[in-house]
Amino acid sequence: MDQKTIDVIQSTVPVLESKGEEIVVAFYHHMLETHPELRNIFNKTNQSRLTQPKALAAMIYQAARSIDHLDALLPQVQRVAEKHRSIGVKPEQYPIVGENLIWALKHVLQDAATEEVINAWSEAYQQIADVFISTENHLRDEMLKRGGWTGFAPFTVEKIVQESSVIKSFYLKPVSGNPLPVYQPGQYISVRVRVPGTDYTNIRQYSLSDTPSKHYFRISVKKEEGRGLYPDGLVSNYLHKQVKLGDTLEISAPAGEFTLHPSKRPVVFISGGIGQTPLLAMAKQLIKESPERDILWIHSAKDMHRLAFINELTRLSKQARHFTIHLALSEEQHVYNGIDRYGRIDEAWLKNIVKNTDADYYFCGPLSLMRFIYKTLTEWKIPESQIHDEFFGPKGKLIS
């Protein structure tokens, strides 16, 4: 882009800061009204809760601020591109997105959406779209080289295990009988289902909660319970209540950039609730490949009934002498063997059990826990290169 275009884009930063969410809400509404087939891709829950619009608004705002050095957006581009590849976004859908984004700018900004502004954003969008398309094509090619597939493939539900009162594990085998591609612990797959009584397919991402196998994928799904104005999770409740042994699910090839980074430092895993699933695969892989490496896992659940994988974690701690677990129950009233804390994770407790803070930190769980962990680690002066996190859903803000 020439300097004039860059200047025009940067001049829109203040209005994007104040009206970005309004623009994105209008964008999604108009696009899904004019192209209802895209409802088969976009998560309706994230739309209704505004988590998706807020995430996109934040990304557009950052793009405007960084328009003269777009390389700063590469980590975000990689994360979103992984998701797009997983849910089946196609290059030919990008012009639809661009047309509706420009429409939303005109609709919300009215007279402020001058010809100069619209032309600048049209050019900027095309360049950003080209980066996404190129990245997603590369991800598809790499997956095919590793024995994966494009789109969705049928898998049979071979085994179902009740891990806690709200978590079930599903063991999935390819109908084709072909060996599965090797994936990185921490990655996820997308599951596409048509829930009876709904008009469109629904796609959800679930972390692979076991180490790579040639024969099966394991996902562990929390049954999402409704709160306040929000209903029960559509897909998670469908999987828990209606999917049986022998049923077929449509699965995408593994994706995601939340993976183990090369290092010899100790590792600290911190999780809350269902956030333990990607970390479980990571821990098992580390124990297998680096049995002498110190691994500390801190996990919090609401109560004993919701505490999943306790037997699996106990077996791992007995097998690997450098693997230590600390468990907390945030809302439990009764006392149980093996539980280290009753109440929420706090800094004093973390300081007491994290003996060597010069470690690599991986954490996943509710947003409130993740914000607390990130704030604590930054106050401990842990370098950003040693802090790794995973959001379930659109990327949120760790700084509240």
Q: Which residues are catalytic?
A: 94, 136
Tokens of 268: 């600290």
Q: How far apart are CA 244 and CA 170, in angstroms?
A: 10
What is the sign, positive or negative, of the torsion defined by CA atoms of 378, 384, 388, 394?
A: positive
90 C-beta neighbours (distance < 10 Å), count: 12
Q: How far apart are CA 2 and CA 139, in angstroms?
A: 30
Contacts of 90 (CB under 8 A, 6+ apart): none
The length of the chain is 400
- 10 Å CB burial of residue 2 (0-12, 13-18, 19+) is exposed
Classify residue 164 as left (phi > 0), alpha (psi -120 to 50) or beta.
Answer: beta
Classify strands 295-301 and 267-272 as parallel, antiparallel or unpaired: parallel
